[in-house]
Amino acid sequence: MAGDQAHHPPPNRRAGVNRRSLLAGGLLVGTGAAAGVATDRMISGSTTNAATRADTEPFWGAHQSGVITDTQRHVVLASFDFTTTERADVTEILKRWTALGAALASGQSVQVPLYQGTGQPADAYAAATARATPSDSLDAWQLGPQRLTLTVGFGPGMFTKDGRDRFGIADKRPRQLVDLPRFPGEQIDETVSGGDLFLQACADDPQVAFHAVRSLARIAPDVVTLRWTQLGFSPANTGGTPRNLMGFKDGTANSNAHPPADLDSTVWAGAEGPDWMRGGTYLVYRRIRISLEHWDRLQVAQQERVIGRQKVSGAPLGSAHEFDAKDFNAKDTQGNMVIPADSHVRLAAPENNNGAVMVRRAFSYNNGTTPFTERWPPWRQALEYDAGLLFLAYQKDPRASFITVNQRLALNDALNQFTTHTATGIYAIPPGARGDGDWIGRTLFS
């Protein structure tokens, strides 16, 4: 345990800690049950975990990781709401998230720096669990860092909730962090959308990603409560652009795999917004269900006309190779556009949207099967896959990028016959924490 503490100060060594969290942290040294002590001996052994450069992504830096980082195999998205109205609780939780996040990203086992909040316990259960163990749950023990990245974001509710400026930062809300408009055809489930505090945990091992979310969520479950989670996956890296569930390469253009040349003018926030966001970015999340049953019935040539690219090679229609330029003027012998007027890539491409660029970092998801009511009447209403795309796009200004592009797509994209947006979120992703003692959100709250 001593070795572990050297890396992760328990709550009673951290500044600004209150009496109730002292009690929780003191459980091990005070009334420490035999089982707890044994667990801590085990944990201290695991800190020798062999992390290599190849399986560790940097946690500290000017920008948060998980934005342009090469896509990992697994993602767990988690969104939280604050039940507290105390600014001190928010800053304390962000400090603890940062310290624990850094430890997790380096593959260490952790003591969870529990925090009870400054107010009264929310209910009898919260009061009874004040003496919870801070021990690592051990479900990711000895698995290594697995390229874990943790990306933290602030939803609009962090700034104003139900018209109230809960934390005294309403005037710091960036203009770029708009409330997303409603788009034609969407069927948004609010219970799995939005949230005050957002977390994207990505790793090459599913249990490492989930363990990270679970450990951060344990810090103060009665002060910042889980709103929703969503799992996603990306195929093994075969050296090329990964394919989505439609079978098409996804990420050829405007993605973290092939990002725009100048990230400062397209992705990272700069002088156009508030100082506290400099080096940050804005994330738009959409969970988009794909009607795979119907898609799988469509002839491949028709599928290619929907996307505007060839299925196997990923080349734009009319070209031979994946990375060939798209010729939007080319016509076939009958005078039809080779890349159809309603194809996805024509409508989404920056050259047709006033240069709107975004870094897409998509994952697929599979939530099993659900009885769906299809929005296209000729199609059978039946038990269908709830599977599709977790669309995650990072950009400097969602008004100029995601909203501009999606307004066009929602009206005219041939892909709409097969896709429905069912969950949504927009988050300000603040700049990274620079090193030990710094914390994500410091620029906003200090």
Find the helix or strand (DSSP H, E) in which 229 lies.
strand 224-233
Distance CA 243, CA 312 (A): 10
Minimum CB distance to ligand HEM, residue 286 (Å): 6
For residue 36, give both structure tokens: 């707890």
Distance CA 304, CA 311 (A): 6
Is residue 337 a contact point for ligand HEM (CB under 6 A)?
no
Residue in 79, 193, 254, 266 binding ligand HEM, rule: CB under 6 A: 254
Binding mask 209-238 for ligand HEM (x = CB under 6 A): ------------------------------
Residue in 72, 252, 395, 443 binding ligand HEM, rule: CB under 6 A: 252
Which amino acid type is present at position 97?
W
Residue in 328, 363, 391, 427 binding ligand HEM, rule: CB under 6 A: 391
Residue in 93, 114, 202, 405 binding ligand HEM, rule: CB under 6 A: 405
Q: Given the rule CB under 6 A, which of 21-29, 96-104, 251-259, 375-383 is the region that contacts ligand HEM?
A: 251-259
Is residue 359 a contact point for ligand HEM (CB under 6 A)?
no
Minimum CB distance to ligand HEM, residue 134 (Å): 41
- Nearest CB to ligand HEM, comparing residues 90 and 246: 246
Tell me which residue of 24, 21, 27, 22 sits closest to 39, measured CA to CA: 27
Specify the residue for token string 């390229």.
Answer: 147
Give backbone dihedrals phi and psi of 310, rounded to 5 degrees, phi first. -75, 145
Interhelix angle 87-105/206-218, nearest 10 degrees: 150
Minimum CB distance to ligand HEM, residue 403 (Å): 8
- Nearest CB to ligand HEM, comparing residues 209 and 246: 246
Q: Looking at 100-223, which runs of residues are DSSP E strands?
A: 149-154, 197-203
Residue in 107, 251, 260, 273 binding ligand HEM, rule: CB under 6 A: 251
Per-residue exposure over 164-178, b if at least 16 CB sit within 10 Å of its own CB, e if not: eebbebeebbbebbe
Contact 167, 401 (CB under 8 A): no
Distance CA 175, CA 77 (A): 24
Residue in 67, 103, 349, 426 binding ligand HEM, rule: CB under 6 A: 349
Minimum CB distance to ligand HEM, residue 208 (Å): 27
Contact 47, 4 (CB under 8 A): yes
Residue in 115, 210, 248, 372 binding ligand HEM, rule: CB under 6 A: 248
Residue in 246, 306, 414, 440 binding ligand HEM, rule: CB under 6 A: 246
Tell me which residue of 80, 79, 101, 102 sits closest to 89, measured CA to CA: 80
> How far are the Cα atoms of 121, 252, 314 from residue 340, in angstroms, in the given order?
59, 19, 16
Contact 110, 96 (CB under 8 A): no
Is residue 392 a contact point for ligand HEM (CB under 6 A)?
no
Is residue 319 a contact point for ligand HEM (CB under 6 A)?
no
Number of residues that bind ligand HEM (CB under 6 A): 28
3-state secondary structure of 277: helix
Minimum CB distance to ligand HEM, residue 288 (Å): 4
Is residue 64 a contact point for ligand HEM (CB under 6 A)?
no
Distance CA 149, CA 168 (A): 30
Distance of CA 314 to the CA centre of its chain: 26
Minimum CB distance to ligand HEM, residue 347 (Å): 9
Tell me which residue of 286, 273, 313, 295 sits closest to 385, measured CA to CA: 295
- Nearest CB to ligand HEM, comparing residues 74 and 309: 309
Q: Which of residues 283-312 bind ligand HEM (CB under 6 A)?
A: 286, 288, 290, 307, 309
Minimum CB distance to ligand HEM, residue 419 (Å): 4
Residues interacting with ligand HEM, by CB under 6 A? Answer: 244, 246, 248-255, 286, 288, 290, 307, 309, 344-345, 348-350, 388-389, 391, 402, 405-406, 409, 419
